[in-house]
Structure 1
Amino acid sequence: MAELADLEDAGVRAVNERHGDDHGVNLGKLRALAKRLKTRHELACRLWETDDTAARLLAILICRPKAFARDDLDAMVRRTRAPKVHDWLVNYVVKKSPHAEALRTAWSADPDPVVASAGWALTTERVAKKPDGLDLAGLLDVIEARMKDAPERLQWSMNHCLARIGIEHAGHRTRAIDIGERLGVLRDYPTSPGCTSPFAPIWINEMVRRNRTE
């Protein structure tokens, strides 16, 4: 914790706070610290319990994902509100857990939109890597009905799923693009030069174009 405090930078904190993350540690330096510590699951659990955002990010990097029980992961997601911690927890820990599929099913319909966004992130992973058994048309039905009015973080996850369905599954591409056009979610999202817009129709078409030329 003392090392993390020494890494605190007011400028970094100011930037992060604009995105809802209450920490001021450069992530490159945080990763370097994690690389030095290597996997230390007991320490990771102690860092997580501090409720400090930088400490939790470090905990995620040095934990052993498969060591967490399903109930542990459920509780961790429900207590996580900083966007970066939530994103890393889902992507670096939950996705590597043997409980990922059970949690995906449970979380996707959760009344808490932050928890539900974790479920949709796991669904997006399956859409891309293990789509067998998924009802893609049914997912598009839910997205079409609920995405436009969903809270921001849940909306972002559902939009990512919409785009991934369109990118990976040609049979659903036309409908995915049509849903994106009609709902208009993230149509005006500011995008840096050289980056792809998160607006689903643009995102889908650009990634399909790249895949065809690679």
Structure 2
Amino acid sequence: MPLKNIHPTAKVVAVAGLLLGMASSAQAQVSGNATLTSDYVWRGSSQTREDPAIQAGVKYAHESGLYASVWGSNVKFKPDNGARSEFDLAVGWSGKIATDWALDVYLLRYQYPSANTNLNWNEINASITWRDNYWLAVGHSNNAMATDTTGTYALLGARYPINDQWRIEGSVARYVLDSAYADSYTHGALGVVWTFKAPFEARLTLHGSDSAAKRLFPGMAGSRAEFAIQASF
């Protein structure tokens, strides 16, 4: 069957299976993370109505730079549409493109299996990082947030290591949703991260979004603080 006739979820799973098959015959690396956070904030908006979230992910990377990953979290939207969990499936490539530069390109599938309406959608993403501390990320979808219309997201981020235990991170981003919502919005984040006992980290992040975000996502966007503890392996 031609790939274009396969369901989008099946495409991601099929590509992921291909990558994992390649990895079985060559050197590969498995990594993962687990997080307990006071609020799941995505692109400036709470995805849990400001309630806590438990999150975990795993990534299987081939030595060529190809990888497949899955990440999950509990969610609760406003208005309530039955969604209680989110699973993000990704396949992509990442690697060095110059001495100080790294590139990451991937296809991301957002899945909400318990929703009483179809919230699933795909997004193509790319990010470029300089010296591990400055990055530009862009995402685009023809079905942004399952609206059957386009959306483009751009983020500029930076981190400043203070010492081996402490660092400061910040970002500013713009989400262009003119086709879906006849509006666009800007949001930003500023946080401090403490590696108190590797691989465990504690993070305090302040989030803020403009008035357009509050109009688009009332009760979900706005100013808020998020505290999280994360472990990576």
Of Structure 1 and Structure 2, the greater strand share is in 2
Of Structure 1 and Structure 2, the greater helix share is in 1
Q: TM-score, normalised by structure 2?
A: 0.32
Structure showing greater relative contact order (alpha-carbon pairs closer than 8 Å, 6 or more residues apart): 2
